[in-house]
């Protein structure tokens, strides 16, 4: 009996400081399961609530009283309330993935359909199709992957321009790729899955980093001209130094096409870097051709005509010696 008494005396009760360590990483909120892991008793929790330290904000979730309600806190609250099989999704996930053209501070979640709960007040979507590749962690939050987020936005009938921007951003940030999207789309497509045809169509002109690059690819496709390789990196063969990343390469024609935005590079140092970059590409035997934002958006027929002439000329110059032989 004495031994039992010693054991009871040696039991270490969780303290408020143990809880604050979790609160500090979750923007001031904590879930019941986390309190259970700390072996916080019902009496302790009721005491902290009674003394004004914690207040209930969602099913099985408590917040430090007086802490500001922030977007990140609402996301943590939702994940704690909805359980392990829940993820920040749709517009909220798009913001965490830094997709262009994303509305800010939306709060949305995705859960498996069998776990959907009507008790939680935020917007909750459900799905029957889920895989480990669909989850990533960002800022301590469970989030749908960039690929899955794009597909979910399409399923929610987001505007095509938003989907274009999402795809191009993911390619630019290297969080997804056209082929990755195609593979995952094939895996989750099915009856009732909205947006499948939209994604299929938008992937036709994907691979660039910007809407302007996408527009150029679209022009080439509509004109029936060859599709170039987007975002090709050239390196110094000896040192491995990156010489340049070009917007488009027609490898068979030794032709580089660059598209530039409205402003372009205007400072002396930027112009000097552009000149060095162009010279090094020319030293590799490449021809560099450039179109501006105004060219592509306001004179598409002229761009198509110029590219048709350029590719035809390049093709003739390549086949000339062979024909003579």
Lowest-confidence segment of 154-158, 164-168, 209-213, 238-242 by average pLDDT: 238-242
The pLDDT confidence band at residue 318, using thresholds 50, 70 and 90, is: low
Bigger pLDDT: 325 or 188?
A: 188
Say yes or no to pLDDT of 289 above 80.
yes
The predicted pLDDT at position 109 comes to 97
Task: Kindly give the interhelix angle for 146-155 and 178-188, rounded to the nearest 10 degrees.
Answer: 60
Q: What is the spatial distance between Cα 163 and Cα 199, in angstroms, rounded to a whole number?
A: 8
Say yes or no to pLDDT of 9 above 60.
no
The pLDDT confidence band at residue 324, using thresholds 50, 70 and 90, is: very low
Average pLDDT over residues 303-319: 84
Say yes or no to pLDDT of 253 above 70.
yes
Per-domain residue ranges for the chain? 10-69, 71-207, 211-318
Q: Is 258 helix (H, G, I), strand (E, B) or coil?
A: strand
Average pLDDT over residues 154-158: 93
Average pLDDT over residues 87-105: 98
The predicted pLDDT at position 275 comes to 85
Average pLDDT over residues 272-279: 85
Lowest-confidence segment of 27-31, 112-116, 223-227, 234-238 by average pLDDT: 112-116
The pLDDT confidence band at residue 121, using thresholds 50, 70 and 90, is: confident
The pLDDT confidence band at residue 323, using thresholds 50, 70 and 90, is: very low
Average pLDDT over residues 10-15: 70
Cβ(61)–Cβ(80) under 8 Å?
yes
Q: What is the spatial distance between Cα 220 and Cα 143, in angstroms, rounded to a whole number?
A: 36
Average pLDDT over residues 128-143: 95
Say yes or no to pLDDT of 2 above 80.
no
The predicted pLDDT at position 287 comes to 93
Q: Give all strands of the β-sheet with 255-260 in edge-to-edge order.
A: 229-235, 242-250, 255-260, 287-292
Query: What percent of the chain clears pLDDT 70, i.e. is strictly above it?
Result: 88
List of E strands, 42-173: 54-58, 61-64, 86-88, 108-112, 123-127, 135-138, 141-144
In CATH, what class is 211-318?
alpha beta
The predicted pLDDT at position 262 comes to 56
The predicted pLDDT at position 115 comes to 59
CATH number of 10-69: 1.10.10
Say yes or no to pLDDT of 193 above 80.
no
Average pLDDT over residues 300-320: 85
Sign of dihedral through CA atoms 269, 275, 281, 283?
Answer: negative
Count CA within 13 A, CB hemisphere, residue 20.
7
Mean pLDDT over the full length of the chain: 89
Say yes or no to pLDDT of 265 above 80.
no
The predicted pLDDT at position 211 comes to 94
Say yes or no to pLDDT of 319 above 70.
no
Residue 31 bridge partners (DSSP): 61
The predicted pLDDT at position 316 comes to 63
Say yes or no to pLDDT of 32 above 50.
yes
The predicted pLDDT at position 6 comes to 44
């Amino acid at each position: 009996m004495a031994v039992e008494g010693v054991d009871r005396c040696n039991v270490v009760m969780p303290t408020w400081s143990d809880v604050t360590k979790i609160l500090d990483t979750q923007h001031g909120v904590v879930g019941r399961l986390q309190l259970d892991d700390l072996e916080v008793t019902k009496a302790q929790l009721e005491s902290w609530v009674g003394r004004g330290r914690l207040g209930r904000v969602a099913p099985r979730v408590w917040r430090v009283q007086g802490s500001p309600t922030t977007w990140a806190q609402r996301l943590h609250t939702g994940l704690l309330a909805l359980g392990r099989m829940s993820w920040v999704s749709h517009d909220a996930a798009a913001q965490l993935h830094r997709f262009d053209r994303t509305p800010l501070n939306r709060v949305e979640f995705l859960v498996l359909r069998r776990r959907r709960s009507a008790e939680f007040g935020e917007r909750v979507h459900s799905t029957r199709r889920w895989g480990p590749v669909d989850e990533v962690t960002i800022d301590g939050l469970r989030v749908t992957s960039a690929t899955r987020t794009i597909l979910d936005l399409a399923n929610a009938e987001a505007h095509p321009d938003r989907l274009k921007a999402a795809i191009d951003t993911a390619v630019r940030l290297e969080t997804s790729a056209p082929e990755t999207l195609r593979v995952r789309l094939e895996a989750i497509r099915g009856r009732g899955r909205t947006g499948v045809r939209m994604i299929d169509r938008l992937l036709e002109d994907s691979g660039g980093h910007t809407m302007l690059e996408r527009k150029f690819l679209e022009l080439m496709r509509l004109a029936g001209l060859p599709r170039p390789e987007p975002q090709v990196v050239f390196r110094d063969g000896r040192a491995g130094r990156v010489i340049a990343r070009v917007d488009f390469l027609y490898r068979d024609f030794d032709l580089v096409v660059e598209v530039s935005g409205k402003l372009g590079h205007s400072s002396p140092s930027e112009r000097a870097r552009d000149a060095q970059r162009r010279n090094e590409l020319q030293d590799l035997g490449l021809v560099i051709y450039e179109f501006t934002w105004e060219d592509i958006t306001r004179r598409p027929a002229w761009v198509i005509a110029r590219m048709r002439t350029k590719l035809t000329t390049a093709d003739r110059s390549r086949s000339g010696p062979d024909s003579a032989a």
